[in-house]
Amino acid sequence: MIEARGVSVSIGRKCIVSDIDFEARPGEIATMVGPNGSGKTTFLKALSGEYAYSGRIAVNGNDLSDLAPAQAASVRAVLPQATSLSFPFTVREIVKLGLVGGRSGVSAGEAERLPERALAKVDLEGFAGRFYQELSGGEQQRVQLARVLCQVWAPVIDGQPRYLFLDEPVSSLDIKHQLIIMNIARDFAQRGGGVVAILHDLNLTAMFADRIYVMHRGNLAAAGTPSDVLKDNLIEEVFGCRLRVGALPAGNTPFVLPQSAL
């Protein structure tokens, strides 16, 4: 389990997030939602060891600040919002970088073919020889996810659960690939790993999240299951926007929800 208690992050003199309690349990998808600038990414960067923080973060019972980069890399993989590249790597070379420091959890022989398997998983079969810079934004995002999956291919190693940190993993994807990616996350959790995801789509959140953490101005506004958290008044308070949960559009306006996927 990943456990954060009273975590605050300041950048310069400005306090970006304050006093967050958070848990990511193995077998579950924990999502963070909230308006732009509410501190979701900052908190995730504290969880991944990128930002200094006050408070306590423990990963599988070990204090995060005691973990060396290589140790942390063997228990969690991080998908950032965007990744730019200055050299002409092929897609396969990028995905293989996932194996650079962590533990994929497969044998050396299997590891050789892991990039292809990971690419197939994110629906990029046949892209291995393409140049990363020539791909569309959505394809690049999926290549990065394939790299992240290589790093923690086995959700559990030596009885220790491992974690996926996903910062807006579906932000530039079409609906088909949004569902594919969220199903990968669900599958990872069902096989014993843990997932922390920042999402903006409340419908996807309601569909896939086991627990929702709602961030608002650097504070935790609510935490709980989707049905506990997604309420009209909370959404109005946090997002500043009067919406009604579960209301159908008036008249014949068509609407398509991810939940309707067959």
Partner 1 sequence: MADQTVAGVPGTLRYVAVGDRSSRARLVIFLLGVALVFTMLFSLASGASDASAVSVVRNWLFGATAGTDLMSIRDNIIVYDIRLPRVVLGALVGAALAVSGAVMQGLFRNPLADPGLIGVSAGASLGAVSVIVLGGTMLAPLTAIFGTFTLPLAAFVGGLVTTLVLYQVATRQGRTSVATMLLAGIALAALAMALTGVLIFMADDRQLRDLTFWQLGSLAGATWQKIGAVGPVIVAAMVSMPFLARGLNALALGEATASHLGISVQRLKYIAILSVSAAVGAAVAVSGGIGFVGIVVPHLLRLLIGPDNRYLLPASALLGAALLLLADSLARTIVAPAELPIGIVTALAGAPFFLWILLRKRGIIDL
Binding residues for partner 1, per CB under 8 A? 45, 48-50, 52, 68-70, 72-74, 76-78, 80, 83-94, 96-98, 100-102, 112-113, 115-116, 125-126, 128-130, 133, 151
Tokens standing for 16? Answer: 């970006």
* Minimum CB–partner distance for residue 69 and partner 1 (Å): 5
Closer CB to partner 1, 136 or 259, in the complex? 136
* Minimum CB–partner distance for residue 93 and partner 1 (Å): 6
Other beta carbons within 10 Å of 78: 22
Closer CB to partner 1, 27 or 80, in the complex? 80
194 — phi, psi (to 5°)?
-120, 150
* Minimum CB–partner distance for residue 73 and partner 1 (Å): 3
Other beta carbons within 10 Å of 117: 16
3-state secondary structure of 7: strand
Tokens standing for 78? Answer: 């991080």
Closer CB to partner 1, 85 or 261, in the complex? 85
Spatial contact of 128 and 167, defined as CB atoms under 8 Å apart: no
Strand partners, 14: 11
User: What is the rounded CA–CA span in Å between residue 114 and residue 74?
Assistant: 16
* Minimum CB–partner distance for residue 166 and partner 1 (Å): 12
Spatial contact of 95 and 62, defined as CB atoms under 8 Å apart: no
Closer CB to partner 1, 92 or 216, in the complex? 92
142 exposure class (CB count in 10 Å sphere: 0-12, 13-18, 19+): buried
Strand partners, 83: none
Long-range contact list for 49-52, CB < 8 A, 24+ apart?
51/9, 51/11, 52/9
Closer CB to partner 1, 73 or 189, in the complex? 73
Closer CB to partner 1, 143 or 229, in the complex? 143
**Sequence-separated (6 or more) residues with CB below 8 Å from residue 179:** 258, 261
Closer CB to partner 1, 89 or 239, in the complex? 89
* Minimum CB–partner distance for residue 92 and partner 1 (Å): 3
User: What is the rounded CA–CA span in Å between residue 231 and residue 121?
Assistant: 35
* Minimum CB–partner distance for residue 215 and partner 1 (Å): 20
* Minimum CB–partner distance for residue 86 and partner 1 (Å): 5
